[in-house]
């Protein structure tokens, strides 16, 4: 019997999820990232699809503004992270 794959959960803020979704959609559209193996592309598609199911901003008229606000929020929160 084939063993089921282990499932992992990630935690993101809504802003982080929106920024990641926009980036994944853009790199997929532009073929901006070199893919070494088909599995890499499959994982990107699955992650993008999971984000699409939980986000609703991409269907709103002010999507671009929502993405920009999310980018500012994520960027501002990174200032507080010690390096």
Q: 63 in a domain, yes or no?
A: yes
Top pLDDT among 72 and 29 is at 72
- Torsion sign (Cα): 14, 67, 61, 28: negative
Q: How many residues does the chain have?
A: 83
Domain interval for residue 59: 14-78
Mean local confidence (pLDDT), 23-35: 82
pTM for this prediction: 0.82
State the pLDDT at residue 42: 92
Mean local confidence (pLDDT), 63-76: 96
How many structural domains does the chain have?
1
CA atoms of 79 and 63, how far apart (whole Å):
25
Q: 4 in a domain, yes or no?
A: no
Q: 8 in a domain, yes or no?
A: no
State the pLDDT at residue 70: 97
Q: 58 in a domain, yes or no?
A: yes
State the pLDDT at residue 80: 66
């Amino acid at each position: 019997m084939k063993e089921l794959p282990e499932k992992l959960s990630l935690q993101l803020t809504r802003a982080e999820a929106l920024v990641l979704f926009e980036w994944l959609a853009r790199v997929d559209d532009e073929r901006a990232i070199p893919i070494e193996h088909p599995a890499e592309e499959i994982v990107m598609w699955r992650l993008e699809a999971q984000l699409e199911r939980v986000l609703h901003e991409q269907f709103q008229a002010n999507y671009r503004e929502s993405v920009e606000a999310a980018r500012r929020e994520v960027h501002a929160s990174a200032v507080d992270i010690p390096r």
